[in-house]
Amino acid sequence: MTGLSPAEQAPTSALRAQPSDGSVETAVLGMPSASGLPTASGTFTASGIPPAGDRASADGLALAGGPARAGGSTVPVSPAPARIVQPSDALAELIAGNRRFVSGRPQHGHEVSAAAAASGGQLPHAVVLGCIDSRVPLEAIFDQTFGSICVIRSGGHVVDRAVLGSVGFAVAALKVPLIMVLGHVRCGAVDATVKALRSGERPDGDVGYLVDEIAPAVQAVGVDDPDVVAKAMRAHVARTVRRLRDVTGVPGAIAAGRVATAGAVYDLDTGWVDLLA
């Protein structure tokens, strides 16, 4: 992809939002405005957001059972998004998508036509590791369509070899420019880890593995801290980001400026994603 000026090619450090007051609005304001998003091909702009009525009608057609097919063949009605190559553009798109989600004006739904449009191949612009929490559907909160982001989820976004290999595959084979770890407030896995450390009663078996992996972040904050769950979540996200930066192939991609990482926390109540400083 060409056409980006040096000024638009933000260094990795610029992807980290300024420390915020807890609201994502602050973090978002630290990013390019919706109207000022990079205009490189594949980067969505605010002006490209379809009116809600259009989406509603598309949903209705899909539910009616046949709109995506005409004459027996699938007819994509919307083009698959073009490639986003720059890490800064990828993060800007996720932040813009979260803004669209929060504002109630998502650009993407779950129309089968969008699935068909992306079926020929994938050009995802991020791999996002999040928690299994059912209240944190990653494609929805970032307003991303089919083929846009690779999603990995585990309890408390705990990493194991499968997660590491998946991140490595996304970077090496799918050429994603952004690796994001997204935690969320009131995470049950972090809360369970705090309880386990306070009581000394570690859950048995495989669930205990989650506790073991989250425990260092809780211990770093201190189990007696009155705000330990929230603080430990952010520490756990930061630790997870650091771990993913060591995945095979990733350090070289980061050094070459092809890949950047970001950590963030999702607010269940407001829908905002707060980038960690």
Q: Which residues make up the interface to Zn ion (CB under 5 A)? A: 131, 133, 187
Nearer to Zn ion, 132 or 277 (CB): 132
Distance CA 12, CA 10 (A): 6
Report the nearest approach of Zn ion to the CB of residue 129 (Å). 12
Nearer to Zn ion, 27 or 131 (CB): 131
Nearer to Zn ion, 96 or 187 (CB): 187
Report the nearest approach of Zn ion to the CB of residue 266 (Å). 9
Report the nearest approach of Zn ion to the CB of residue 133 (Å). 4
172: its two tokens:
């090496």
Report the nearest approach of Zn ion to the CB of residue 161 (Å). 21
Q: Are 39 and 45 in contact (CB under 8 A)?
A: yes
Least Cα distance to 236 among 216, 250, 222 occurs for 216
Distance CA 206, CA 92 (A): 37
Q: For residue 149, what are the β-bridge partners?
A: 126
Nearer to Zn ion, 92 or 233 (CB): 233
Nearer to Zn ion, 59 or 160 (CB): 160
Please give the distance of CA 60 from its chain centroid, rounded to a whole number.
Answer: 28
Q: Is 164 left (phi over 0), alpha (psi -120 to 50) or beta?
A: alpha
Backbone angles phi, psi at 147, to 5 degrees: 85, 0
Report the nearest approach of Zn ion to the CB of residue 236 (Å). 10
